[in-house]
Chains A and B, each alone.
Chain A
């Protein structure tokens, strides 16, 4: 994105140099952290509207070339927010801190470390994941350096370089490309207001709004039962606790129990982040598209060592901007879910 690498015509570099789309329509979309999911949703709109038959969607980032924290600060209000803002981690630490004070510091810290161990263990089965830490333990996470209380180093995502491309096609074209596509069942977006602190936000209200909307539309009553896998956008371990609660996987304050019961482990009823999640890889402009792509990979059965068995329905999530949420639900069967 522009403010991370300090460049502006990146859509031409990716579109023409890398993809050969000379004289074809190319559009750049940048909505901060949700860039990838905004791309993913616009790809869907382009096909579903009938305007295009086939679309390639590309998200990318090279955080080595700038700095995520520095770039993120420039996205916020010059007068009120830029002077004290510490990128994304400062506010995410505040949210974790509020969460901990509500639901118990000790228990939340342990649960957060469990999230890191779960996701980074999953990443060990994904050759594309940035951080490869197959032997990670909760003790290791909980003794890592304090970055921004209560966030420790390993509660945080890395800064990554990476890209993700997804091919979208209408029904006729899809048949020519693969026998086994992932079908879009629906998308959902909730954007909040300018100032991030108008609400305390620790429980990501936009995730609740967006998920209720899409569940209702698709007739999903219990996401843990009705979804087979979820790829969520967790920039910190604490975010997975709060975001999954906001998405209705359990009641508020109860994600630690879900973890204890193994529900969101690879072998559980609703595996969360089989790819290793954002905690393992975070090329920001690609990150949310990776979530959508992983949902598609799981539905198409192309997950290899990280494949969840018998996936019929998968959800992908984007998070970013002023604490926005974007969701997609994909299915194996072209017919409506219910």
Chain B
């Protein structure tokens, strides 16, 4: 694995644009998100509530449609956390992903699946599994915050991260 000195290498950058059809349920999700609603999809057979919403329940192989979508709480429970503290190129931008950043798995109230997302806390001592968390919308941030936007646009940046709730907010 040690590189031989003077070994001839070509360097290049792949930069491919792509389009990704997100599906009817995700379209509905983002429409509702603009109204500050977080929607999951519920399997009509087993009742499992999926977040993110998707078209098929894997357990039952039953189709879910936009009619099976229902609103979830913007609050939930912290199930796991880490603080990403290593450098890497983010293929979404081609630049280094800024680090360290908090990265959590949580379960929104009403959902049966889990959500992985950014968290604004970067000290691993501040997290406690089982504590309450809350989705943050971009228009609720201070105006000088890098993720602030004056209004919701119905895209993934509407929820820039999830925050830890302090004890009294339970």
A and B touch in the complex (CB under 8 A): yes
Binding site for B on A (CB under 8 A): 6, 64, 67, 69-71, 73-74, 78-87, 89-91, 93-98, 101, 130, 145-151, 160-162, 193-200, 202
Cross-chain contact A94 with B82 (CB below 8 angstroms): yes
Q: Judge if B73 is at the interface, Cβ distance under 8 Å.
A: no
A82-B84 contact, Cβ under 8 Å, with A98-B79, A197-B115: no
Cross-chain contact B3 with A64 (CB below 8 angstroms): yes
Q: Judge if B46 is at the interface, Cβ distance under 8 Å.
A: no
Write out the residue numbers on chain B whose beta carbons fall within 8 Å of the beta carbon of A200: 79-80, 105, 114
- Cα(A196)–Cα(B114), bound, Å: 9
| Closest partner residue, chain A, to B125 (CB atom) | A149
Contact of B116 among A70, A87, A91 (CB under 8 A): A91
Contact-size category for B: 35 or more
Q: Judge if B104 is at the interface, Cβ distance under 8 Å.
A: yes
Cross-chain contact B129 with A90 (CB below 8 angstroms): no
Contact of B89 among A70, A81, A89, A97 (CB under 8 A): A70
- Cα(A160)–Cα(B3), bound, Å: 12
Write out the residue numbers on chain B whose beta carbons fall within 8 Å of the beta carbon of A85: 116
Task: Known pairs A73-B92, A98-B129, A148-B86; list 12 more (Cβ under 8 Å).
Answer: A70-B89, A74-B91, A79-B52, A82-B92, A89-B86, A94-B116, A97-B81, A147-B86, A148-B82, A149-B85, A193-B58, A197-B114
Cross-chain contact B85 with A90 (CB below 8 angstroms): no
- What distance in Å separates the Cβ of B151 from its nearest Cβ neighbour in chain A? 20
| Closest partner residue, chain A, to B53 (CB atom) | A80
Cross-chain contact B88 with A86 (CB below 8 angstroms): yes
- What distance in Å separates the Cβ of A128 from its nearest Cβ neighbour in chain B? 11
Q: Judge if B163 is at the interface, Cβ distance under 8 Å.
A: no
Cross-chain contact B104 with A94 (CB below 8 angstroms): yes
- Cα(A6)–Cα(B9), bound, Å: 14
Sample of 20 A–B contacts (CB below 8 Å): A64-B3, A67-B88, A70-B88, A71-B91, A80-B156, A82-B91, A84-B103, A86-B86, A89-B86, A93-B103, A97-B81, A98-B129, A147-B86, A148-B86, A149-B82, A193-B58, A195-B113, A196-B116, A199-B113, A202-B80
| Closest partner residue, chain B, to A131 (CB atom) | B1
- Cα(A148)–Cα(B83), bound, Å: 5
Cross-chain contact A86 with B79 (CB below 8 angstroms): no
Write out the residue numbers on chain A whose beta carbons fall within 8 Å of the beta carbon of B54: 194-195
- Residues 93-130 of B at the A interface (beta carbon under 8 Å): 97, 103-105, 113-118, 124, 129
Cross-chain contact A195 with B52 (CB below 8 angstroms): yes
Q: Judge if B70 is at the interface, Cβ distance under 8 Å.
A: no
- Cα(A150)–Cα(B80), bound, Å: 11
- What distance in Å separates the Cβ of A98 from its nearest Cβ neighbour in chain B? 4
- Cα(A71)–Cα(B63), bound, Å: 31
Q: Judge if B67 is at the interface, Cβ distance under 8 Å.
A: no
- What distance in Å separates the Cβ of A150 from its nearest Cβ neighbour in chain B? 8
Binding site for A on B (CB under 8 A): 1, 3, 12, 14, 18, 20, 22, 26, 50, 52, 54, 58, 79-86, 88-92, 97, 103-105, 113-118, 124, 129, 156
Cross-chain contact B91 with A94 (CB below 8 angstroms): no
Contact of B20 among A78, A83, A149 (CB under 8 A): A78
- Cα(A91)–Cα(B84), bound, Å: 10
Write out the residue numbers on chain B whose beta carbons fall within 8 Å of the beta carbon of A98: 79-80, 105, 129
Write out the residue numbers on chain B whose beta carbons fall within 8 Å of the beta carbon of A199: 113-114
- What distance in Å separates the Cβ of A69 from its nearest Cβ neighbour in chain B? 4
A69-B88 contact, Cβ under 8 Å, with A6-B14, A193-B58, A197-B115: yes
- Cα(A196)–Cα(B113), bound, Å: 10
Write out the residue numbers on chain B whose beta carbons fall within 8 Å of the beta carbon of A196: 116
| Closest partner residue, chain B, to A283 (CB atom) | B1
Cross-chain contact A73 with B20 (CB below 8 angstroms): no
A148-B85 contact, Cβ under 8 Å, with A86-B103, A97-B129: yes
- What distance in Å separates the Cβ of B30 from its nearest Cβ neighbour in chain A? 9
| Closest partner residue, chain A, to B130 (CB atom) | A101
- Cα(A249)–Cα(B124), bound, Å: 31
Cross-chain contact B105 with A161 (CB below 8 angstroms): no
3 A-B pairs closest in CB distance:
A93-B82, A149-B124, A69-B88
- What distance in Å separates the Cβ of B45 from its nearest Cβ neighbour in chain A? 16
Cross-chain contact A197 with B81 (CB below 8 angstroms): no
Cross-chain contact A146 with B85 (CB below 8 angstroms): yes
- Cα(A147)–Cα(B82), bound, Å: 9
